[in-house]
C-alpha cells in the first residue's frame, strides 16, 4: 500500500515567503510544514494498492481543465479561529473546476468524497495543542496575515504524489505529472 494525494505545486519563488510567514507563527503546539513541502492539495487519496497507481495516473490524464493563473493570498484556519486544527494559505483561481474534474475522473475508484465544500488551500501548520498564550499570539498573527499576498503563478499541471511518513516528517515523491490543456 502507498499513501497518495493529488496536488498543485507552488513555485519555488513562493517558498521563501512561506518560510517568513511561518516564522511569525512559531508557537508551541504548532507543527509547521516544511516550506519546500507546502502545496495545494486537490484530493487526498490515502492508502492505495501500488497496482492502482498506473490506472489512477491514466484516469487523471482525462481531466478537462485548461491551464490558468492562480493567486496565493490570505492566511486562514480550519475549522474556525476559536478551535484551530490547521493553518493555511488561501488559493484563488479555477480550483473548484479542477477539483470537480479530479472527482469526476476518479469516480470509478470510489474514493471517499471530501466532506463539505472544497476550499483551495496550502497547509502551513497543524495544531497539536495551543495553550491560552499561544492562542492569543495566533489570533494576532492571523489578523496581521489575513491580507498577505504571495502573488500569482500559472497552474499548468497537477501532480500525483506518494507520501511516505517518517519520524522527521513526510517525504513526497511525484508518481506522475499531468499537464493541463493549454
Q: What is the pLDDT of residues 112-157, one digit of tens each?
A: 777 778 999 999 999 988 888 888 889 899 999 989 999 999 999 9
The answer to whether residue 166 scores a pLDDT higher than 80 is: yes
Please say if the pLDDT value at position 45 is more than 90: yes
The whole-number pLDDT of residue 151 equals 97
- Structural domains of the chain in order of their starting residue, each with its CATH number: 2-179 (3.90.1140.10)
| Mean pLDDT, residues 156-181 taken together | 95
121 carries an active-site annotation:
yes
pLDDT surpassing 70 at residue 182: no
pLDDT in tens, 48-90: 999 999 999 999 999 999 999 999 999 999 998 888 999 999 9
Q: In the numeric block, which cell numbers belong to residue 152?
A: 500569482
Q: What is the pLDDT of residues 15-44, one digit of tens each?
A: 999 999 999 987 888 999 999 999 999 999
Share of the chain above pLDDT 90, in %: 79
Q: What percent of the chain has pLDDT over 70?
A: 99
- 82: how many CB neighbours lie within 10 A of its CB? 8
- Catalytic hit among 39, 64, 99, 137: 39
Catalytic residue among 64, 99, 121, 181: 121
Amino acid at each position: 500500500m502507498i499513501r497518495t494525494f493529488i496536488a498543485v505545486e507552488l513555485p519555488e519563488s513562493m517558498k521563501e515567503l512561506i518560510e517568513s510567514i511561518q516564522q511569525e507563527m512559531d508557537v508551541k503546539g504548532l507543527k509547521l510544514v516544511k516550506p519546500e513541502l507546502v502545496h495545494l492539495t486537490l484530493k487526498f487519496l490515502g492508502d492505495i494498492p501500488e497496482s492502482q497507481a498506473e490506472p489512477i495516473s491514466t484516469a487523471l490524464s482525462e481531466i478537462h481543465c485548461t491551464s490558468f493563473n492562480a493567486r496565493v493570498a490570505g492566511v486562514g484556519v480550519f475549522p474556525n479561529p476559536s478551535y484551530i486544527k490547521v493553518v493555511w494559505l488561501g488559493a484563488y483561481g479555477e480550483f473548484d473546476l479542477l477539483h470537480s474534474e479530479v472527482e469526476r475522473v476518479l469516480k470509478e475508484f470510489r474514493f471517499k468524497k471530501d466532506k463539505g465544500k472544497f476550499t483551495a488551500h496550502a497547509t502551513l501548520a497543524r495544531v497539536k495543542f495551543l495553550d491560552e498564550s499561544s492562542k492569543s499570539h495566533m489570533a494576532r498573527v492571523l489578523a496581521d496575515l489575513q491580507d498577505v499576498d504571495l502573488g500569482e503563478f500559472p497552474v499548468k499541471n497537477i501532480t500525483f504524489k506518494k507520501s511516505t511518513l517518517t519520524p522527521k516528517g513526510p517525504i513526497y515523491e511525484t508518481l506522475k505529472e499531468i499537464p493541463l490543456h493549454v
